[in-house]
Amino acid sequence: MDKQILDSIRVDRPAPPHVPKGRVVDLGFAMGGVPNDLVDPYEPFEWLNGPDIPRLLYNMPAERMHGAVSGMGNGNWVVTHYDDIDRVYTDNEHFSNKGAAEFQRLIGETFRSIPLGVDPPEHGKYRMYLMPYFSPARISRDLEPRIRAVVVGMIEAIAAKGEVDMAWDFARVYPVRIFMGLMGFPAEMFEQFLAWEWDILHANSLEKTQAALRGVLAFLRGFIAEKEKTPDEHLVSSIVHGKIEGRAPTEEEKIGMVWFLWLGGLDTVAATISQMFRRMALQPSIQTMLRGHPELINGAVEEFLRTQPILSSARSATKDFEWHGVQIKKGDVFSCLNPAGNFDATKFANPREFDPTRKGNRHFTFIAGVHACLGAHLARRELRLLLEEWFKRIPEFQVKPGADTTVFPGLLSIRNLPLVWS
Ligand code: HEM
């Protein structure tokens, strides 16, 4: 069966000469851009880590992404088995993340996206620089009271109404309000930030992406300059005035860090929340379980994350080497398909089951290795507090009858999710 599906996506497009012919496929459908209406929207990728599927496939999609950004213009290896994905994320000798997320190159900027686009050992100094602001202890002390106040206020504002557009009016707003407070950005930039981010990540128009990049970088540079003159207690100011290994950060480092936090911090939690509530609305037994057993909420957050891997990450080969009987060439790009790895039956018993009591839930939604998501503790805390406060105030909810529940299994997620309760 797996083989049949594999045969149906084989393509005859010219691939680089070192790629065996039988491995060339079109996996464009698995990159999050094709919507479906399944309760578990990641189910269509399940077969990709089956025992009959070659450990490395080579993706030659009909539609290309911006080659300048992703490095995927000439096709890429696709990694779908848990252990292989783990290797790509953790083996820094063979796999590099240099130049990752450098959308800024599209307008001729040369600064790096820090820390994501920097390899070890250099990566370590930036990680050390930023990590204290995202540690669980810091989040508990400085952020949790505010997160809870924001989420309680938002839930209380809708509780009596009996309905909300969970994706547009709640998920899109809540984490961004927390993020803007953390960074010290002015609240009135909210809609503009989201519009810029949409045009950078999803517009599919080079002109729009370039205009958004010019807009956001001009804003961030102006904001950094302002914080240089008038420091405050927020994160952008701390980045600007801190010391990296005993010296002040350079202009390139400041914009590189602030820019990448801006990019990584805006819509990832929003997409996760929308999918989480869609899943609970379509599978009310999860609501009943969590309402009756709030002690399962921590495990549920981890399980929502595992079953909703909104991003898949890429790396490039640092040298020629052989892997699984295939010749890899320096510069080859690898895309790790987290929606396959997170359901690998060799690592997760009953992988498609939503099980908040699952032990050792080492999924890849925040990846693994040195670049593991810096905002993971913050994201988890936002999700946990939302669930805790939600179940105290909102009875069983469902999707508003007639509403469209089509979802993109990825960062695009779902734009509108009308929920109702009585
Ligand atoms: C559920 C929400 C989130 C998900 C699913 C997520 C996912 C990811 C993934 C997959 C990576 C690795 C990317 C790669 O290696 O190519 C990453 C890295 C990163 N994320 Fe997140 N993220 C989330 C929330 C956040 C938030 C809220 C922030 C900041 C406020 C953030 C900041 C970062 C940073 C700075 C990195 C780079 C880490 C490094 O290179 O050392 N993320 N995230």
List the residue whose alpha carbon is closest to atom 39 of ligand 1: 371
Q: How far apart are CA 108 and CA 421, in angstroms?
A: 50
Q: Specify the amino acid at residue 168.
A: W
Q: Specify the amino acid at residue 88.
A: V
Pocket of ligand 1, beta carbon within 6 A: 97, 100, 115-116, 127, 179, 260-261, 264-265, 268-269, 272, 310-311, 313, 365-367, 371, 373-375, 378-379
**DSSP-derived secondary structure letter, 10:** B
- Ligand 1, closest atom to CA 312? 10
- Report the separation in Å between the CA atom of 6 and the middle of ligand 1, taken as the mean of its atom positions: 31
Beta strands across the sheet bearing 418-421: 163-165, 418-421, 397-399
Q: How far apart are CA 412 and CA 404, in angstroms?
A: 15
- Report the separation in Å between the CA atom of 256 and the middle of ligand 1, taken as the mean of its atom positions: 15
Closest among 335, 368, 373, 176 to 271, alpha carbons compared: 176
Q: Which residues contact 54 (CB under 8 A, 6 or more apart)?
A: 22, 23, 324
19-22 — which CB contacts under 8 Å span 24+ positions? 19/58, 19/75, 19/326, 20/326, 22/54
Q: How far apart are CA 418 and CA 278, in angstroms?
A: 9
List the residue whose alpha carbon is closest to atom 11 of ligand 1: 373
Q: Which residues contact 181 (CB under 8 A, 6 or more apart)?
A: 146, 234
Residue 262: exposure state from Cβ atoms within 10 A (0-12, 13-18, ≥19): buried
**DSSP-derived secondary structure letter, 25:** E
- Report the separation in Å between the CA atom of 18 and the middle of ligand 1, taken as the mean of its atom positions: 33
- Ligand 1, closest atom to CA 309? 5
Both tokens assigned to 400: 């508003």
Closest among 70, 77, 74, 60 to 26, alpha carbons compared: 60
- How many alpha carbons fall within 13 Å on the CB side of residue 79? 25
pLDDT per residue as tens, the chain (422 positions): 688 888 888 888 889 999 998 899 998 888 888 999 999 999 999 899 888 899 999 999 876 554 434 444 579 999 999 999 999 999 999 999 999 999 999 999 999 999 999 999 999 999 999 999 999 999 999 999 999 999 999 999 999 999 999 999 999 999 999 999 999 999 999 999 999 998 998 888 999 999 999 999 999 999 999 999 999 999 999 999 999 999 999 999 999 999 999 999 889 999 999 999 999 999 999 999 999 999 999 999 999 999 999 999 999 999 999 999 999 999 999 999 999 999 999 999 999 999 999 999 999 999 999 999 999 999 999 999 999 999 999 999 999 999 999 999 999 999 999 999 99
For residue 63, the model assigns a pLDDT of 64
- Report the separation in Å between the CA atom of 327 and the middle of ligand 1, taken as the mean of its atom positions: 31
- Report the separation in Å between the CA atom of 312 and the middle of ligand 1, taken as the mean of its atom positions: 11
Beta bridge partner(s), residue 10: 25
Q: How far apart are CA 202 and CA 412, in angstroms?
A: 8
Q: How far apart are CA 394 and CA 422, in angstroms?
A: 9
List the residue whose alpha carbon is closest to atom 34 of ligand 1: 374
Residue pair 174/154 in contact by the 8 Å Cβ criterion: yes
Q: Which residues contact 174 (CB under 8 A, 6 or more apart)?
A: 150, 151, 154, 269, 270, 273, 382, 386
**DSSP-derived secondary structure letter, 419:** E
- How many alpha carbons fall within 13 Å on the CB side of residue 365? 27
**DSSP-derived secondary structure letter, 370:** T
Greatest Cα pair distance, the chain, in angstroms, is 64
- Report the separation in Å between the CA atom of 263 and the middle of ligand 1, taken as the mean of its atom positions: 9
Beta bridge partner(s), residue 418: 165
| Domains of the chain, first to last | 2-421 (1.10.630.10)
**Candidates 69, 72, 373: which one to mutate for ligand 1, based on the most atoms within 8 Å of Cβ?**
373
Beta bridge partner(s), residue 399: 419
List the residue whose alpha carbon is closest to atom 14 of ligand 1: 313
Q: Which residues contact 28 (CB under 8 A, 6 or more apart)?
A: 34, 59, 61, 62, 63
Residue pair 299/358 in contact by the 8 Å Cβ criterion: yes
- Report the separation in Å between the CA atom of 371 and the middle of ligand 1, taken as the mean of its atom positions: 8
Helix (H, G, I), strand (E, B) or coil at 77: strand
Q: How far apart are CA 339 and CA 30, in angstroms?
A: 8
Where does 139-269 show beta strands of DSSP type E? 163-165
**Candidates 95, 143, 268: which one to mutate for ligand 1, based on the most atoms within 8 Å of Cβ?**
268
Residue pair 311/271 in contact by the 8 Å Cβ criterion: no
